[in-house]
């Protein structure tokens, strides 16, 4: 096997640093800015500073910083996995990258159809961003997905995509869609159109937030219980909350890892479903064919 060149190794090191350094920076920032406090505390994202804006002040919060860190780390991961692609004797990381791309292509093909294959990069991007944002709480950071502003931003993006795909056959066809199946249901259809992004945002945010609230409550309860049960131990031994060791970690596997991953998958699946359902497939292809027949 050929020896790797120095440039290759240097680029690899840079990519790995791109994955690690943002999180270290975010942890440092959190340690420096969080005031010491004892007891249970459930707060929203910490506001670092505000930028004055004409309509409303722009708040720069912990969740935005963490979200940017996740984006930089994912960018580094993508560059690392696709570094040094070959056609023969492929490396482990190329196997991994090809496996991810094949899986996502298959998922998009199965649930959206062949016409939407160019959606695959967007779907894996939103899946990875959502999943890794939820996983940041494993290293003690504030998960950006438990802030509604971040998730609502993604939901609005998905809503724009849905509306764009519904408008593929012109505004008249789009407006006619509201009068299905009967005309007097139009107001209800109109409301349900706007309920889609709201429910997507609330579902993701509510799941992650409820997980972190329950984790904090259980950790506090275990501390109290440990003081009650093991308080008779002599000296400083009585003050150490032994029951807090290990038990919250088991719960964290469900609330952080499983729930976070599942919600990311569901957000991506719902995006695919709504976009594919909203697209007027038959009408669009019928019009396209009619146009082609006219030209010939």
Partner 1 sequence: MLELAIGIILGGCALGAGCAMIAGIGPGIGEGNAVAAACEAIGRQPECKGSVTSTMLMGCAIAETTGLYALVIAILLIFVAPNLLVNVLLRALGA
Residues that bind partner 1 (CB under 8 A): 42, 199, 202-203, 205-207, 209-210, 213, 262-263, 266, 269-270
- Cis link prior to 295 (omega < 30° from 0)? no
C-alpha to C-alpha distance for 134 and 155, rounded to whole angstroms: 16
**Hey, how many other C-beta atoms are within 10 angstroms of the C-beta on 126?**
17
Tokens 């504030």, residue? 142
Buried b (16+ CB within 10 A) or exposed e, 198-231: eebbbbbbebbbebbeebeebbbebeeebeeeee
Nearer to partner 1, 1 or 191 (CB): 191
C-alpha to C-alpha distance for 293 and 296, rounded to whole angstroms: 5
Nearer to partner 1, 84 or 206 (CB): 206
Nearer to partner 1, 8 or 258 (CB): 258
CA neighbor of 145 nearest in space, from 73, 207, 76 = 207
C-alpha to C-alpha distance for 156 and 199, rounded to whole angstroms: 11
Eight-class DSSP state of 218: H
Name the minimum Å distance from CB 202 to partner 1. Answer: 6
**What is the helix (H) or strand (E) element at residue 236, kind and residue range?**
none
Nearer to partner 1, 205 or 255 (CB): 205
Task: Estimate to the nearest angstrom the gap between the alpha carbon of 272 and the chain centroid.
Answer: 15
Query: Do the Cβ atoms of 143 and 23 come closer than 8 Å?
Result: no
Nearer to partner 1, 219 or 270 (CB): 270
Nearer to partner 1, 82 or 259 (CB): 259
Nearer to partner 1, 16 or 262 (CB): 262
C-alpha to C-alpha distance for 63 and 47, rounded to whole angstroms: 9
Query: Do the Cβ atoms of 144 and 136 come closer than 8 Å?
Result: yes
Q: How many CA atoms lie within 13 A of 94 on its CB side?
A: 9
Nearer to partner 1, 73 or 151 (CB): 151
């Amino acid at each position: 096997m050929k020896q790797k060149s120095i440039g290759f190794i240097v680029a690899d090191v840079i990519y790995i640093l791109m994955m690690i350094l943002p999180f270290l920076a975010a942890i440092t920032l959190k340690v420096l800015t969080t005031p010491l406090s004892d007891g249970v505390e459930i707060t929203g994202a910490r506001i670092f500073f505000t930028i004055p804006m004409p309509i409303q002040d722009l708040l720069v919060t912990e969740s935005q910083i963490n979200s940017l860190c996740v984006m930089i780390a994912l960018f580094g991961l993508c560059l690392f996995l696709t570094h040094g692609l070959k056609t023969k004797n492929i490396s482990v990381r190329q196997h991994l990258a090809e496996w991810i791309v094949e899986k996502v292509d298959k998922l998009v093909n199965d649930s959206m159809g062949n016409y939407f294959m160019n959606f695959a990069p967007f779907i894996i991007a939103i899946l990875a961003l959502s999943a890794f944002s939820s996983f940041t709480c494993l290293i003690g950071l504030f998960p950006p997905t438990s802030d509604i502003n971040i998730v609502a931003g993604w939901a609005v993006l998905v809503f724009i995509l849905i509306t764009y795909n519904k408008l593929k056959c012109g505004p008249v066809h789009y407006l006619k869609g509201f009068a299905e199946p009967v005309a007097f249901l139009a107001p209800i259809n109109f409301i349900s159109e706007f309920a889609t992004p709201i429910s997507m945002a609330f579902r993701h945010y509510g799941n992650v937030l409820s997980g972190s609230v329950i984790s904090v409550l259980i950790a506090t309860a275990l501390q109290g219980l440990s003081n009650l049960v093991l308080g008779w131990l002599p000296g400083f031994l009585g003050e150490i909350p032994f029951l807090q060791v290990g038990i919250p970690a088991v719960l964290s596997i469900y609330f952080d890892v499983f729930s976070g991953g599942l919600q990311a998958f569901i957000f991506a699946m719902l995006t695919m479903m709504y976009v594919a359902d909203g697209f007027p497939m038959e009408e669009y292809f019928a019009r396209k064919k009619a146009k082609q027949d006219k030209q010939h």
